[in-house]
Chain A
Amino acid sequence: MEHSFFYKALVFLGAAVLFVPLAKKSGLGSVLGYLIAGVIIGPSVMGFVGAEGQDIMHYAEFGVVMMLFLIGLELEPELLWKLRKSILGLGGLQVIVTTVVIAGIAMLFHFSWQQALALGMILSLSSTAIVLQTMAEKGLMKTSAGQSAFAVLLFQDIAVIPMLALFPLLATTDILHNSSDAHEAGTWVDGQPAWLHATIVLGVIAAVIAVGRIAVRPLLRLVAKTNMREIFTATALLIVVGIAVLMTRVGLSPALGAFLAGVVLANSEYRHELESDIEPFKGLLLGVFFIAVGASIDFGLVSQHLREIIMWVCILIAVKALVLLLLGKVFKMGTEQNFIFSFGLTQVGEFAFVLFSFSFQQGILSQETTNVMTAVVAISMGLSPLIVMVNEKLLLPRVGTEETEERPADDIDEKHSVIIAGFGHFGSTIGRFLRANRIPATYLDMDSDRVDALRKMGFKVFYGDVSRVDLLQAAGADKARIIVIAISSPEKRLEMIETIKKHFPHLHMLVRAANRYDAYDLMNAGMLHIYRESLDTSLRVGVDVMSLLGHRRYTARRQAANFIKYDEANLKRLSSIRNPDEYVVAARKFFEEIEATIQSDRQYLLSEGDMSWDPDSLIEEVRASLQENPQG
């Protein structure tokens, strides 16, 4: 068989295109689809790809780096600060407790304490790629389970750094210290004293932040001006690759560096362009990564060590789940959220592959242990989507929040003509306002903790994926008149709109939008009632600023009302520009326009606009007639 690049690409892409839609269709999620595709094309079944699976995995790991860059872009520093307690507390405890328990069990199986500790540390990590992909697909990222999972994964990514530093100290046998193929090319910090090492690492991090703040934005602006889409994409890739290389040079996890860079660029005006450029690469690379994981499961080895592997997989999943459940309880998560969180993180992460080979090179673990454990990790990853599914289908219906309330047979309440989807800070204000005016509404939310709390307060709440037809049906979408789409995920909003258009076309949709870009998407989806989250509030601030500066309040209010009118009109105009190359330019042009509009607004209001109040024209007329006829 000819193993050219095209042949490999054909196999990988073909497998993905065939199996992922199948897996999604049957409700298994894309991750499991990729893994199955990997197993099928791997050496154990069809043998299309052989030992190069490992190499491919090495490249595909870059998808994880990109994913963290994207997560960073989505994450503003304030949110990170808000999560500090869960990152350090929940994440820290998870890594420490799981490590200790697994190490203890390993010692029972006659591993030395050094080996046990290394195993514990490696196996305590979970897979950022699998968990975040799954959670995002299910729209769970903003729930408390999603946030906690994210916090734990983030801590684990950071924890890889001290682990890498610790491993050489655990070496027991004499190592064949040929670092040449162990660490590609070595790093700048090899053989440096500890203080210098720390200084270099901190210096590089500071440099990443500083360069991200100062240099990257002008660079992107320059590139955007060329109006060449592919160069912008190249720049985006260059940033991510550059950071990954830099981080590897100082012995840090490239994923962590990319995450940091993402956070630094989160507030830049190019955030959306960067996101949409990197996104497809990330998706594809992650897919390849999962396929490679599937392909790397060596079924020959598995059958030899079958009992051992099965035992370890069971132990691992049990230990991880129990530790997480316990910690979730300590951190006061609701049962349902705790289950989603705990069963979501039971697999071992992709870093394990790296750490296993590293610990083998360092002479901590034997070749055999490494091989067996690699299989264990891959299987635990493969089982992960199944465990999530079992949790969803079998466990949650018993322990968790019910999707709908238990209610008497005559459930359809004619009066609930309003449905509010999403009861976060946006939806809750709408809900409170309607409730205060005695307008009953039905609520939908994806966060079970919130749903439980709301039900206690006497709200009528349905729980689950708001874009599902059956849930909307249960909430009375066929009888309702209005639906307020107040959920925070833009993708879910669009999904929901499609579902409603198809199944409940009579509903008036009032849709929340995060910003202009979001509003464009909603307009293109045919929405008429779009509410940008911060527009009215920002203008109220503007009015107060004017007032504090001594302008008349009433005039300021009228200016604000006029501003909204102009802004919405402009929005409509810009939404028609769909050519992505034009987009960056158009957006900049828009701000120039808006400046001009405000200025003309002001002129408009204070001269011609107020014709009827003390009109200048009347004064002129009277004075003119006075000159003609001085008697007046």
Chain B
Amino acid sequence: MRKILIIFAHPVLEKSRVHKRLLHHIPHLDGITVNDLYENYPDFDIDVTREQQLLLAHDIIIWQHPLYWYSAPAMLKQWQDLVLEHGWAYGKDGYALRGKKVFNVISSGSSLQSYQREGYQHCTITEVLKPFERTAELCRMTYLPPFWVSGTHKLEMPQINEYGKRYNQLLQLLRQENLKDEELMQASCLNDLIEISQNNLA
């Protein structure tokens, strides 16, 4: 069984539509931990020791957050700055996170189509997430494709719930199956992982 840590950052969850539903669909299972940063550290005063211990105790790390200005809400940046210490997470002696898997669970106002070189955003989501990817690599972790809820402003509740169910399935799959990195990398988005792994089995 893989242990999954969801590091969640949303400053106004009261107003959120997508993330409220995503959180709702996270299975209540052993080995799945939700770490709600804005709730735990309302003063941005992050407990680094606690956060590092949480990281050590899990195999798969998820950064779940809305995409604000092509990045994460301020709290997640604060978390990276403080928790991923030199000599612990990276650098000559920083091997604490080696081999763990990490990926983003994001929501964006723009649609799938607009994140194309030729599209409205002039770049792909992979390119947008480059800072996270580089962070993961520096920390000797495997960076996986994101789980992505796109075009959120146009989504109606039933569609959002569909995403929620998919998120639930993904988490269960990651928890149970010891998927190889190559299998995981096949998907451009982890949204599609369920179909891919079903095809692989078939």
Binding site for B on A (CB under 8 A): 543, 552-557, 606, 610, 613-614, 616, 618-619, 622-623, 626, 632
Q: Identify 20 new A-B residue pairs, CB closer than 8 A, beyond the known A606-B12, A606-B14, A622-B109.
A: A552-B12, A552-B13, A552-B38, A553-B39, A554-B39, A554-B42, A555-B12, A556-B42, A557-B43, A610-B15, A614-B12, A614-B16, A616-B15, A618-B109, A622-B154, A623-B153, A626-B154, A632-B111, A632-B151, A632-B154
Docked-complex contact B154 and A557, CB < 8 angstroms: no
Contact of A557 among B13, B15, B42, B153 (CB under 8 A): B42
Name the interface residues of B6-45: CB closer than 8 Å to any CB of A.
11-16, 38-40, 42-43
Q: Give the distance in Å from the alpha carbon of A252 to the alpha carbon of B175 in the complex.
A: 80
Docked-complex contact A623 and B15, CB < 8 angstroms: no
Contacts of B16 in A (CB 8 A): 614
Docked-complex contact A606 and B39, CB < 8 angstroms: no
Docked-complex contact B39 and A552, CB < 8 angstroms: yes
Q: Give the distance in Å from the alpha carbon of A619 to the alpha carbon of B66 in the complex.
A: 14
A552-B13, A552-B14, A618-B153 in contact; A613/B68 too (CB < 8 A)? yes
Docked-complex contact A622 and B42, CB < 8 angstroms: no
Chain B interface size band reads 10 to 19
Contacts of A554 in B (CB 8 A): 11, 38-39, 42
Contact of B12 among A553, A557, A610 (CB under 8 A): A610
Docked-complex contact A614 and B15, CB < 8 angstroms: yes
Contacts of B109 in A (CB 8 A): 618, 622
Docked-complex contact A553 and B154, CB < 8 angstroms: no
Contacts of A622 in B (CB 8 A): 109, 153-154
* 19 cross-chain CB contacts under 8 A: A543-B42, A552-B12, A552-B38, A552-B39, A553-B38, A554-B39, A554-B42, A556-B42, A557-B42, A557-B43, A606-B12, A610-B15, A614-B15, A614-B66, A616-B15, A618-B109, A618-B153, A619-B153, A622-B153
A620, chain B: closest CB distance, angstroms: 9
Q: Give the distance in Å from the alpha carbon of A556 to the alpha carbon of B14 in the complex.
A: 12
Contacts of A626 in B (CB 8 A): 154
From A621, which residue of chain B is reached at the shortest CB distance? B153
Contacts of B11 in A (CB 8 A): 554, 610, 613
B78, chain A: closest CB distance, angstroms: 12
Q: Give the distance in Å from the alpha carbon of A610 to the alpha carbon of B38 in the complex.
A: 15
The 6 residue pairs across chains A and B that have the minimum distance between CB atoms: A622-B153, A553-B42, A557-B42, A554-B38, A554-B42, A619-B153
Q: Give the distance in Å from the alpha carbon of A618 to the alpha carbon of B43 in the complex.
A: 28
From A556, which residue of chain B is reached at the shortest CB distance? B42
Contacts of A552 in B (CB 8 A): 12-14, 38-39
Q: Give the distance in Å from the alpha carbon of A622 to the alpha carbon of B153 in the complex.
A: 7
Docked-complex contact A606 and B15, CB < 8 angstroms: yes
Q: Give the distance in Å from the alpha carbon of A555 to the alpha carbon of B38 in the complex.
A: 9
Contacts of B14 in A (CB 8 A): 552, 555, 606
A553-B38, A618-B109 in contact; A613/B15 too (CB < 8 A)? yes
A282, chain B: closest CB distance, angstroms: 48
Contact of B154 among A613, A614, A623 (CB under 8 A): A623
Q: Give the distance in Å from the alpha carbon of A623 to the alpha carbon of B68 in the complex.
A: 19
From A614, which residue of chain B is reached at the shortest CB distance? B15
Contacts of A616 in B (CB 8 A): 15
Interface centre among A556, A606, A618, A632 (most CB of B within 10 A): A632
Contacts of A619 in B (CB 8 A): 153
Name the interface residues of B139-157: CB closer than 8 Å to any CB of A.
151, 153-154
Q: Give the distance in Å from the alpha carbon of A610 to the alpha carbon of B42 in the complex.
A: 16
A521, chain B: closest CB distance, angstroms: 32
Q: Give the distance in Å from the alpha carbon of A613 to the alpha carbon of B40 in the complex.
A: 19
B160, chain A: closest CB distance, angstroms: 13
Name the interface residues of B63-82: CB closer than 8 Å to any CB of A.
66, 68, 73
From B73, which residue of chain A is reached at the shortest CB distance? A613
A491, chain B: closest CB distance, angstroms: 37
Contacts of A555 in B (CB 8 A): 12, 14
A113, chain B: closest CB distance, angstroms: 72
Q: Give the distance in Å from the alpha carbon of A554 to the alpha carbon of B78 in the complex.
A: 15
Q: Give the distance in Å from the alpha carbon of A483 to the alpha carbon of B90 in the complex.
A: 46
A626, chain B: closest CB distance, angstroms: 6
Q: Give the distance in Å from the alpha carbon of A610 to the alpha carbon of B68 in the complex.
A: 13
A571, chain B: closest CB distance, angstroms: 24
Q: Give the distance in Å from the alpha carbon of A541 to the alpha carbon of B144 in the complex.
A: 43
Docked-complex contact A613 and B111, CB < 8 angstroms: no
Interface centre among A554, A606, A626 (most CB of B within 10 A): A554
Q: Give the distance in Å from the alpha carbon of A554 to the alpha carbon of B12 in the complex.
A: 8
Contacts of B111 in A (CB 8 A): 632
From B12, which residue of chain A is reached at the shortest CB distance? A613
B98, chain A: closest CB distance, angstroms: 32
Q: Give the distance in Å from the alpha carbon of A554 to the alpha carbon of B45 in the complex.
A: 12
From B37, which residue of chain A is reached at the shortest CB distance? A554
Q: Give the distance in Å from the alpha carbon of A556 to the alpha carbon of B43 in the complex.
A: 11
Interface string of B38-55 (1 = CB under 8 A from A): 111011000000000000
Interface centre among B13, B15, B38 (most CB of A within 10 A): B15
Contacts of B68 in A (CB 8 A): 613
Q: Give the distance in Å from the alpha carbon of A380 to the alpha carbon of B22 in the complex.
A: 83
Q: Give the distance in Å from the alpha carbon of A42 to the alpha carbon of B157 in the complex.
A: 94
From A620, which residue of chain B is reached at the shortest CB distance? B153
A601, chain B: closest CB distance, angstroms: 15
Q: Give the distance in Å from the alpha carbon of A557 to the alpha carbon of B154 in the complex.
A: 32
B74, chain A: closest CB distance, angstroms: 10
B20, chain A: closest CB distance, angstroms: 11
A444, chain B: closest CB distance, angstroms: 33
Q: Give the distance in Å from the alpha carbon of A277 to the alpha carbon of B138 in the complex.
A: 73
Contacts of B153 in A (CB 8 A): 618-619, 622-623
Q: Give the distance in Å from the alpha carbon of A632 to the alpha carbon of B112 in the complex.
A: 11
B25, chain A: closest CB distance, angstroms: 19
Q: Give the distance in Å from the alpha carbon of A614 to the alpha carbon of B16 in the complex.
A: 7
Q: Give the distance in Å from the alpha carbon of A556 to the alpha carbon of B39 in the complex.
A: 10
Q: Give the distance in Å from the alpha carbon of A623 to the alpha carbon of B109 in the complex.
A: 11
Contacts of A613 in B (CB 8 A): 11-12, 15, 68, 73
B17, chain A: closest CB distance, angstroms: 8
Contacts of A610 in B (CB 8 A): 11-12, 15
A611, chain B: closest CB distance, angstroms: 11
A16, chain B: closest CB distance, angstroms: 57
B107, chain A: closest CB distance, angstroms: 9
B15, chain A: closest CB distance, angstroms: 5
Q: Give the distance in Å from the alpha carbon of A476 to the alpha carbon of B12 in the complex.
A: 50
B35, chain A: closest CB distance, angstroms: 14
Q: Give the distance in Å from the alpha carbon of A606 to the alpha carbon of B16 in the complex.
A: 12
Name the interface residues of B153-177: CB closer than 8 Å to any CB of A.
153-154
Q: Give the distance in Å from the alpha carbon of A554 to the alpha carbon of B43 in the complex.
A: 7
From B16, which residue of chain A is reached at the shortest CB distance? A614
Contacts of B15 in A (CB 8 A): 606, 610, 613-614, 616
Q: Give the distance in Å from the alpha carbon of A618 to the alpha carbon of B67 in the complex.
A: 14
